[in-house]
Amino acid sequence: MDAKQTPRLIDIAAKVGVHPSVVSRTLRQDPTLSIRPDTRERIEQTARQMGYRGNAQARALRGASTGAVGMVMPSLRNPVWAEIVRGVLAEAVRWNLAVLVAEVPDDRGNDEEYVRLVEEGRIDGLLLGSSEPAERSSAWPPTQVPSVHVNRAVKDAACNITMDETRAVGLFVDHLTALGHRRITLIDGPATVDTTHRRSVALQRLGEERGLEVQIVNAPYNEQGGHDAMARLLRRAAKQRPTAVGVASLNQALGALAATRTRGVAVPSDLSMICLDDDPILGFLDIQLTAVRMPLFELGEAAMQALGERLSGGNPLSREIEDPIELVGRSSTASVPVR
Amino acid sequence: MDAKQTPRLIDIAAKVGVHPSVVSRTLRQDPTLSIRPDTRERIEQTARQMGYRGNAQARALRGASTGAVGMVMPSLRNPVWAEIVRGVLAEAVRWNLAVLVAEVPDDRGNDEEYVRLVEEGRIDGLLLGSSEPAERSSAWPPTQVPSVHVNRAVKDAACNITMDETRAVGLFVDHLTALGHRRITLIDGPATVDTTHRRSVALQRLGEERGLEVQIVNAPYNEQGGHDAMARLLRRAAKQRPTAVGVASLNQALGALAATRTRGVAVPSDLSMICLDDDPILGFLDIQLTAVRMPLFELGEAAMQALGERLSGGNPLSREIEDPIELVGRSSTASVPVR
DNA sequence: CTGTTAGCGCATTCAT
DNA sequence: ATGAATGCGCTAACAG
């Protein structure tokens, strides 16, 4: 009969025989409202049975919030970001927030997309997952809405949610030094990427503290990047070569592993390898890669949580999440070869 | 001075000295409006210099559209969906549409999330990427807004955008039969998944047409699923075993490859393998897997395009996208072994 | 050529 | 304990 698409406040009011504003205040749990219990009951019941939701746009226009947030990251093709976004989506459901997703590649100055989201008033807050330095654009970082940086420690930013990369590097180095390795290389992403930077610093420091020969190699975050970096390492004279190599991402690791194969270098007997980021795939390779598990999903959740708190008037501080970072032992690491 | 956050129509009107509605009509390119060129010029210039964008919520409330669409899929962890979503995001930018993303796992009856998006009036349309049968829930499929099914042929749906799975299976079989294979197995996903179903039908038909012994094995879309399915195949007596196996997804393929290794079955000399979905990773494995490249990104683009057209009053028909599906030859396929 | 009017659906302040 | 009035920012129909 009623072909009404979506019930409005006014529809409920009409049905109950009361003024719309009363319905509004009842449903929003206005504490200053006094109302007869049975009226309240009738309103709530009618709303439920009509499936009332409330128009998000009208609320946003009237009130101060849209009930939506934006999530910006470089690329969903990168499994790391895909997993982080998953965490964000999961937590957003708990906060009753919708998530607008935009890809803004690091190499593109054009951040039109997220700027639009902000300036059109579509979102209450922003989760920023780009990895490039902060000085990319005129409108960066955005000041119109609260934002939280994800997986990135931006100086002077209100809130950065990160993982303990230092601990990850620590686990990686501990594991290798326990096996006798003292010449260790880390193949990581471009030096401009914040996580890469933090890992580099951590590794350098550890190297000095323990008198290790550490080295960082920067390479693109893909198979070819990992492959070429490893190939270059293996072209060195044996004495110059690391006895163990860490690789920052899954894709790079697969490339690097391919390079050892081509070069006839046996893993782990000639060279130990660790991937700084776990993935089920690693357990099914010809050489099963030992990895450091990073809590990516949890990072996404924590970031969304921090943003939720900010939007609720809270003031969450920047923090490294506590979730476990663990070494997942497989078969790509062994004692340092005697030469 | 002006701490005005976001310029409104009224701000521009005030600055130019004209009525807000004139500004609105000018900026919206209303064809019925006649206006003096210099006034138009001043309005446009002022709008540009003030960085006017227009409030999305107000527009949505007033007009009939929100300028946003929803994208629902089972999981971003699945690289297939991640890539499709990337295509969707890219095309959405061209249509000036924001994209709200929600994960709704196939095994969960609860589709609260997207229902909310619709009923709260947040979106103009919906891209539906779930793979389970249509009869999941009371509110399914949604009728309030136009929707387009992505990678899924739903009977009687207004618009399904799919890939030519038949052609993919054709390429796969052609390649193998050219190498002399006549006993071919396809390890695919759960039988309830639509793409799996279409590939199964195509393979069965091809088998009959060409007098091949074909078989479909259903397994979960992950490494373990692929592994276990392949292990089961290899436990058979040699005569019963296929000489070539296709695997539907990257993750399953890596599991399957691991099973051949454990079992001491050499690929491709004992068994040929093809992955029905290309990925850069495949070129860096110990055994480089031949694959059929599927145009996933393009699928996402096409689906978003179809939805865009529907929202613009068009009536795009269901279609299979034309983008190239190609065999990417690597080293996991060879002539059938003589036994 | 441009201004006026009205109202989208809701939340809030004030009045009864 | 409830109703009425107002306006968020914008667009569309109608007046001048």
Q: Over pLDDT 90: what percentage of chain B?
A: 82
A1: amino acid identity, one letter: M
Do B83 and B139 fall within a single domain?
yes
Residue among A5, A77, A117 whose CB faces B86 most closely: A77
Residue among B57, B77, B99 whose CB faces A60 most closely: B57
* Minimal-distance CA residue of chain A relative to B258: A284
B36 touches strand C (CB under 7 A): yes
What pLDDT, on the 0 to 100 scale, is given for residue A126? 94
B3: in domain: no
pLDDT band at A139, cuts 50/70/90?
Answer: low
Whether the CA torsion A304, A306, A309, A310 is positive or negative: it is: negative
What pLDDT, on the 0 to 100 scale, is given for residue A26? 95
User: For residue B337, is pLDDT > 90?
Assistant: no
* Minimal-distance CA residue of chain B relative to A144: B5
SS (H, E, C) chain B: CCCCCCCCHHHHHHHHCCCHHHHHHHHCCCCCCCCCHHHHHHHHHHHHHHCCCCCHHHHHHHCCCCCEEEEEECCCCCHHHHHHHHHHHHHHHHCCCEEEEEECCCCCCCCHHHHHHHHCCCCCEEEECCCCCCCCCCCCCCCCCCEEEECCCCCCCCCEEECCHHHHHHHHHHHHHHCCCCEEEEEECCCCCHHHHHHHHHHHHHHHHHCCEEEEEECCCCHHHHHHHHHHHHCCCHHHCCCEEEECCHHHHHHHHHHHHHHCCCCCCCCEEEECCCCHHHHHCCCCCEEEECCHHHHHHHHHHHHHHHHCCCCCCCEECCCCCEEECCCCCCCCCCC
B104: in domain: yes
B14 touches strand D (CB under 7 A): no
Q: Which of residues 192-211 of B touch A (CB under 8 A)?
A: none
What pLDDT, on the 0 to 100 scale, is given for residue A2? 40
What pLDDT, on the 0 to 100 scale, is given for residue B139? 55
* Minimum mean pLDDT range among A103-112, A118-127, A260-269: A103-112
pLDDT band at B63, cuts 50/70/90?
Answer: confident
Residue nearest to nucleotide D2 (CA to C1'): A22
Do B43 and B185 fall within a single domain?
no
> Quick check: A223 and B103 CB within 8 A?
no
Top mean pLDDT of A2-11, A193-202, B108-117 is at A193-202
Residue among A93, A257, A284 whose CB faces B223 most closely: A284
B226: in domain: yes
> Quick check: A68 and B285 CB within 8 A?
no
* Minimal-distance CA residue of chain B relative to A50: B119
Tell me if B266 sits within 8 A of B239, measured CB to CB.
no
> Quick check: A258 and B285 CB within 8 A?
yes
User: For residue B339, is pLDDT > 90?
Assistant: no
B328: in domain: no
Number of domains forming the structure of chain B? 3
B54 touches strand D (CB under 7 A): yes
Query: Tokens 């803004």 sit at which residue?
Result: A104
pLDDT (mean) for A198-219:
97
Q: Which 184-223 residues of chain B approach strand D with CB closer than 7 Å?
A: none
What pLDDT, on the 0 to 100 scale, is given for residue B4? 54
Mean pLDDT across chain B: 92
What pLDDT, on the 0 to 100 scale, is given for residue B132? 61
Start-to-end C-alpha separation, chain A = 86
* CA of B4, C1' of C5: distance in angstroms: 27
A65 touches strand C (CB under 7 A): no
SS (H, E, C) chain A: CCCCCCCCHHHHHHHHCCCHHHHHHHHCCCCCCCCCHHHHHHHHHHHHHHCCCCCHHHHHHHCCCCCEEEEEECCCCCHHHHHHHHHHHHHHHHCCCEEEEEECCCCCCCCHHHHHHHHCCCCCEEEECCCCCCCCCCCCCCCCCCEEEECCCCCCCCCEEECCHHHHHHHHHHHHHHCCCCEEEEEECCCCCHHHHHHHHHHHHHHHHHCCEEEEEECCCCHHHHHHHHHHHHCCCHHHCCCEEEECCHHHHHHHHHHHHHCCCCCCCCCEEEECCCCHHHHHCCCCCEEEECCHHHHHHHHHHHHHHHHCCCCCCCEECCCCCEEECCCCCCCCCCC
> Quick check: A286 and B286 CB within 8 A?
yes
What pLDDT, on the 0 to 100 scale, is given for residue B2? 42
Residue among A167, A141, A150, A155 at smallest CA distance from A91: A150
B60 touches strand C (CB under 7 A): no
More confident position, A325 or A239: A325
- Pairing, β B183-188 against β B213-218: parallel
Residue A6's nearest nucleotide, by CA–C1', is: C9
Nearest 5 degrees, angle CA B316-CA B320-CA B322?
105
What pLDDT, on the 0 to 100 scale, is given for residue A131? 67
User: For residue A123, is pLDDT > 80?
Assistant: yes
Burial per residue of A44-69, b for 16 or more beta-carbon CB atoms within 10 angstroms, e otherwise: bebbeebebbbbbbbbbbeeeebbbb
Distance, in Å, from the CA atom of B96 to the CA atom of B309, rounded to the nearest integer, reads: 13
pLDDT band at A46, cuts 50/70/90?
Answer: very high
pLDDT band at A1, cuts 50/70/90?
Answer: very low
Selected for mutation to probe chain B from A78, A104, A110, A119 (highest B CB count within 10 Å) is: A119
Do B300 and B287 fall within a single domain?
no
Do B211 and B170 fall within a single domain?
yes
B2: in domain: no
Do A23 and A141 fall within a single domain?
no
Do B101 and B159 fall within a single domain?
yes
Let me know if B92 is exposed, middle or buried by CB neighbors in 10 A (0-12, 13-18, 19+): buried
pLDDT (mean) for B169-198:
96
- Pairing, β B319-320 against β B326-328: unpaired
Cα dist from A256 to A112, A221, A226, A338, B116, whole Å: 36, 11, 5, 23, 45
B15 touches strand D (CB under 7 A): no
What pLDDT, on the 0 to 100 scale, is given for residue B1? 34
User: For residue B3, is pLDDT > 60?
Assistant: no
Residues of chain B positioned with their CB less than 8 A from the CB of A68: 100, 122
Mean pLDDT across chain A: 92
A220 to chain B, any CB pair closer than 8 A? The answer is no
User: For residue A3, is pLDDT > 60?
Assistant: no
The Cβ-side half-sphere exposure at A10, using a 13 Å CA radius, reads 2
pLDDT band at A113, cuts 50/70/90?
Answer: confident
Closest Cα of chain A to B208: distance in Å?
35
| Cross-sheet strand order for the sheet of B244-247 | B213-218, B183-188, B244-247, B272-275, B290-293, B326-328
Do B40 and B182 fall within a single domain?
no
Q: What is the CATH number of the domain that holds A49?
A: 1.10.260.40
Q: With 0.85 as the threshold, say if the pTM is over it.
A: yes
User: For residue B84, is pLDDT > 90?
Assistant: yes
Q: Which 254-313 residues of chain A approach strand C with CB closer than 7 Å?
A: none
B143 to chain A, any CB pair closer than 8 A? The answer is no
Do A175 and A287 fall within a single domain?
yes
The tens digit of pLDDT for each residue in B261-309 reads: 999 999 999 999 999 999 999 999 999 999 999 999 999 999 999 999 9
Top mean pLDDT of B33-37, B102-106, B153-157, B231-235 is at B231-235
The tens digit of pLDDT for each residue in B108-138 reads: 655 677 888 888 999 999 999 976 655 555 5
Distance, in Å, from the CA atom of A73 to the CA atom of A88, rounded to the nearest integer, reads: 12
User: For residue A221, is pLDDT > 50?
Assistant: yes
Residues of chain A positioned with their CB less than 8 A from the CB of B113: 93
| Cross-sheet strand order for the sheet of A213-218 | A213-218, A183-188, A244-247, A272-275, A290-293, A326-328
* CA of A13, C1' of C13: distance in angstroms: 20
Neighbours of A70 (CB within 10 A): 26
Distance, in Å, from the CA atom of A174 to the CA atom of A273, rounded to the nearest integer, reads: 13
A102: in domain: yes
* CA of B14, C1' of C2: distance in angstroms: 14
Q: What is the CATH number of the domain that holds B218?
A: 3.40.50.2300
- Pairing, β A213-218 against β B244-247: unpaired
Burial per residue of A172-206, b for 16 or more beta-carbon CB atoms within 10 angstroms, e otherwise: bbebbbeeebbbbbbbbbbeebbbbbbbbebbeeb
What pLDDT, on the 0 to 100 scale, is given for residue B91? 97
Tell me if A101 sits within 8 A of B121, measured CB to CB.
no
Residue among A5, A57, A251 whose CB faces B60 most closely: A57
pLDDT (mean) for B57-71:
93
Closest Cα of chain A to B24: distance in Å?
15
Residue nearest to nucleotide D9 (CA to C1'): B58
Residue among B316, B311, B314, B303 at smallest CA distance from B66: B311
Do B40 and B82 fall within a single domain?
no
B112: in domain: yes
A86: amino acid identity, one letter: R
Do A69 and A82 fall within a single domain?
yes
> Quick check: A83 and B77 CB within 8 A?
yes
pLDDT (mean) for A83-106:
94
A55 to chain B, any CB pair closer than 8 A? The answer is yes
A190 touches strand C (CB under 7 A): no
A14 to chain B, any CB pair closer than 8 A? The answer is no
B155 touches strand D (CB under 7 A): no
User: For residue B177, is pLDDT > 70?
Assistant: yes
Do A198 and A313 fall within a single domain?
no
What pLDDT, on the 0 to 100 scale, is given for residue B241? 95
pLDDT (mean) for B214-219:
98
Segments forming the whole domain that contains residue A205:
165-293
What pLDDT, on the 0 to 100 scale, is given for residue B238? 86
What pLDDT, on the 0 to 100 scale, is given for residue B178? 97
Closest Cα of chain B to A272: distance in Å?
17
Residues of chain A positioned with their CB less than 8 A from the CB of B76: 76, 82-83, 85-86, 89
User: For residue B6, is pLDDT > 70?
Assistant: yes
Nearest 5 degrees, angle CA A194-CA A195-CA A200?
100
A191 to chain B, any CB pair closer than 8 A? The answer is no
More confident position, B141 or A296: A296
B143: in domain: yes
Do B281 and B178 fall within a single domain?
yes
